[in-house]
Structure 1
Amino acid sequence: MHTGVPHRRVAVYGMGGTIAMAGAGGVVPALSVSQLIDAVPGLGGTGIDIEVNDFRRLPGASLGFADLTALAAEIEKRLEAGDVDGAVVTQGTDTIEETSYLLDLFHTAPQPVIVTGAMRNPTLAGADGPANVLAAVQTAAHPDARNHGVLVVLGDEIHAARHVRKTHATSCSTFQSPNAGPLGHLVEGVPKLLNRLPAARFTLDLAAVNSHPRVGLVTVTFGDDGAFLRDMSERADGLVVAAFGVGHVPEGFVPILSEIAARIPVVLASRTGSGPGLSSTY
């Protein structure tokens, strides 16, 4: 019987990570995307067609810019064909906050791209991978998720790539959006978006990417004399300084940062992980 509900199709790209790990003792990314999909209870009953793509089999910590730019190009080409409603990326959680944001910078199509993973590998009791894959696919297929760029879905929560962070080393509820909160939740398999992103999103031209500059990250610590700051800047094309509080650094840093900023871009941020940097305090 025809229900009047259009058939949905989602392309799933596997990158490896805990969600795809298997083995005894020290597990490694070994499961294919087809194996991940086959292990998801209830997915077959959603009526969503799944297209699988084994793209990489690497731990999240081993992914690099070349892997992600290649993935972004592949997803862009697939979405431009117009016959899929969205895409899902499964990968290791260690770098989801970086990879999802990078994909978001390159993503301009209306279809959603959903990044998900797992904190417990398939050999452990209470493995969260199957539920996260199901929620990610349901979100990717739903029309309400369109025009939101790249989203991160774990634990039935939907987060914007630009806001999400991994906040705990082992907890299944590790992904949070400290400055914004989640965009929404999955309720009985349906994504419910409670918040909306601004209509205008900052994006980059993927075709113009022809190099990967080396950017250093220095965290300011108590009693720091700036020696590491100077050493790192000599080998970097840009520098991010994770400073105290709202952006404070020791007085001795000021002439060093001024010297470095004359040579390369320098961005001052807060090491706290949430809240703004300020420019008119001491």
Structure 2
Amino acid sequence: MTKPRLLILSLGGTITMLPGDAGGLTPTLGASDLVASVPALAEVAEIEARSLFRLPSPSLAIADVLEVARGVEAGFASGTDGAVVIQGTDTIEETAFLLDLLVAGDKPVVVVGAMRGADAPGADGPANLLAAARVAACPDARGQGTLVVLNYDIHAARFVQKSHTTLPSAFDSPGCGPLGVVAEGRPRFHARVSRLPAWPAGDGAPPPVALIKWAMGDDGRMLAALPDLGYRGVVIEGMGAGHVPAGAAPAVGALAARLPVVLASRVIAGPVFTRTYAYPGSEVDLLQRGAVPAGMLSGLKARLLLGLALRRPLPPGEVGAVQAAFGPYQ
């Protein structure tokens, strides 16, 4: 029986880290080192391993993920059956969602990392990498977009969030739960997500988009400065189902007249409302002032989607393209 072909791309992260001269962990290992440390990968697939970067994940830029997306698409065009992207866990949920938006087709893309360095007792990197490869090689993973695999759980990119700073079980999918689990060496799916339309990676990097988390007593004075700082769009993480103080609502409306403004929630799970509360500063009020609801997306992911939607210039006050971009997530 012919083995599937997998492309493994390493970007860095804790999974690649060893103690440096200063004593702390730094990205050291490359893709071939990681593959060599897990001999069982040879039983799963024919592996092509490449190191694109050796970066801690806070230093990854959106332009880097666009390069990853183009590399994955090139691999798929050449006959690769699936892809595994290795990176640090700090920004896995963002990389995975971007790849979900950028890589078209049904072939699996799986993002994986580790919570413990490569030299730590009980290092989780090898087990996570093997589980990710098994998912990427699994026919049941096809057609579900980009997935994240850690601690044997299989998560959908649009739901997954990092929820703990140190535990190996650091990732959850609030409001949905994992799609499945890797048990006895086999991916087992108990749910599926629909594949949503992809955005071309070749359209270039998105413009700057600000992310604002609203706190009690904030009057919104910073909003007026955002356009002059070079931002082309703004995502607001409102309170509750998408609310700000009444006195700040006019500032949101004034900003929405100049830039696309997307309304998300600072709450860990649940959609932004669109028609329940109608007091000043509520979601109904803010949407009437020109904000666009983010639906079920977190602020982090809404920011990424808004950036892709703004790669083509919009006339001032034109929100139709932004509303269309967020439609599938309502």
Task: Provide the C-alpha distance between the structure 1 equivalents of 2:227 and 2:175, rounded to a whole number of angstroms.
Answer: 29
SS in structure 2 at match of 1:144: helix
SS in structure 2 at match of 1:56: strand
Report deviation, 1:169: 1.1
Q: Is the 8 A contact 1:100 1:150 kept in 2?
A: yes
Task: Report the number of matched residues.
Answer: 274
SS in structure 1 at match of 2:246: coil
- Residues 1-282 of structure 1 mapped to structure 2, 5 A cutoff: 5-24=1-20, 25-40=23-38, 42-44=40-42, 46-82=43-79, 84-198=80-194, 200-207=195-202, 209-235=203-229, 236-279=231-274, 280-282=276-278
Query: Match for 1:148: what amino acid?
Result: Q
Which range moves more in the overlay, 248-257 or 20-29?
A: 20-29
CA displacement, residues 15-53 of structure 1 (integer Å, 9 cap, x when unaligned): 000000112421111101111111125334x24221111
Task: Provide the C-alpha distance between the structure 2 equivalents of 1:135 and 1:55, rounded to a whole number of angstroms.
Answer: 21
Query: Match for 1:188: what amino acid?
Result: E
SS in structure 2 at match of 1:223: coil
SS in structure 2 at match of 1:253: helix
Task: Provide the C-alpha distance between the structure 2 equivalents of 1:77 and 1:203, rounded to a whole number of angstroms.
Answer: 16
SS in structure 2 at match of 1:218: strand
Report deviation, 1:270: 0.7
CA displacement, residues 216-261 of structure 1 (integer Å, 9 cap, x when unaligned): 0111111112122332343211001111111110011111011100
CA displacement, residues 48-71 of structure 1 (integer Å, 9 cap, x when unaligned): 221111111000000001111111
Percent of aligned pairs with the same residue? 45
Task: Provide the C-alpha distance between the structure 2 equivalents of 1:170 and 1:254, rounded to a whole number of angstroms.
Answer: 38
CA displacement, residues 47-102 of structure 1 (integer Å, 9 cap, x when unaligned): 422111111100000000111111101110110112x2211000000000001000
Higher helix share goes to which structure? 2
Q: Normalization by structure 2: what TM-score? A: 0.80
Query: Match for 2:181: what amino acid?
Result: H
Query: Match for 2:142: what amino acid?
Result: R
Structure 1 pair 281–137 and aligned structure 2 pair: CA distance change class (3 A) = same
Task: Provide the C-alpha distance between the structure 2 equivalents of 1:47 and 1:146, rounded to a whole number of angstroms.
Answer: 16
SS in structure 1 at match of 2:115: coil
Task: Provide the C-alpha distance between the structure 2 equivalents of 1:218 and 1:281, rounded to a whole number of angstroms.
Answer: 21
Query: Match for 2:30: what amino acid?
Result: S
SS in structure 1 at match of 2:47: strand
SS in structure 1 at match of 2:69: helix
RMSD over aligned CA atoms reads: 1.3
Q: Is the 8 A contact 1:79 1:109 kept in 2?
A: no
Query: Match for 1:29: what amino acid?
Result: P
Query: Match for 1:87: what amino acid?
Result: A
SS in structure 2 at match of 1:227: coil
Report deviation, 1:144: 1.2
Q: Normalization by structure 1: what TM-score? A: 0.93
Task: Provide the C-alpha distance between the structure 2 equivalents of 1:241 and 1:20, rounded to a whole number of angstroms.
Answer: 34
